[in-house]
Copies of this chain bind each other. A is one copy, B any other.
Amino acid sequence: MKTRVERRLAAILAADVAGYNRLMGGDEEGTLAALKGYRRELIDPKIAEHRGRIVKTTGDGALVEFASAVDAVRCGMEIQRAMAERNADIPEDRRIEFRLGINVGDIIIDEGDIYGDGVNIAARIEALASPGAICLSDNAYQQIKGKLALDVTEMGEQQLKNIVQPVRT
């Protein structure tokens, strides 16, 4: 029997820190400590609460897989809302703000890592998100509309087709 690749439908959340190089240039140790604190106190617990799985982390980025698009978007919204509250008391040039991108794709799973268009698109739409906001692919938006209360701005055909971006909460 030939080996068949394992596939599954998943919501993929890609995240990074807006202006990471600038923040690190200004205060390397402070930025790392703040990021670590956010992760421990806010982000990792939120991901666990919404049954997400952290596939990998890079310096300022992360790739998270969820079984449900509704769970992924809910998780992203709660993280962005909590970050906005924390940032309200911090000078603008020292704020850590995340950009999040969420896509739904039929991805390939191999030894715990994930591959495919579905993953690449999540990373590409994340780069389009404003700091503090979430950028959804049309595939993700189709799976959550009517199921979550969102303010959404259509971004139209912006290199990628059919991107919608919920406005900052």
Question: CB within 8 Å of B: which residues of A?
Answer: 7-11, 67-71, 104-106, 117, 139, 142-144, 146-147
Residues of B within 8 A of A69 (CB): 9, 106
A141 CB to nearest chain B CB (Å): 11
Contact of A8 among B68, B117, B144, B147 (CB under 8 A): B68
**Complex CA–CA separation, A140 to B5 (angstroms):** 19
Residues of B within 8 A of A7 (CB): 67-68, 70-71
**Complex CA–CA separation, A10 to B104 (angstroms):** 11
A122 CB to nearest chain B CB (Å): 14
Residues of B within 8 A of A146 (CB): 117
Known: A9-B10, A11-B9. A106 touches B68 (CB 8 A): yes
Is the CB–CB distance between B143 and A105 below 8 Å? yes
**Complex CA–CA separation, A39 to B47 (angstroms):** 41
Is the CB–CB distance between A147 and B68 below 8 Å? no
Residues of B within 8 A of A142 (CB): 139
Residues of B within 8 A of A9 (CB): 8-11, 67-69, 104, 143
**Complex CA–CA separation, A8 to B69 (angstroms):** 8
Residue of B nearest to A107 (CB): B68
Is the CB–CB distance between B70 and A106 below 8 Å? yes
**Complex CA–CA separation, A11 to B67 (angstroms):** 12
Known: A9-B10, A9-B11, A10-B9. A143 touches B106 (CB 8 A): yes
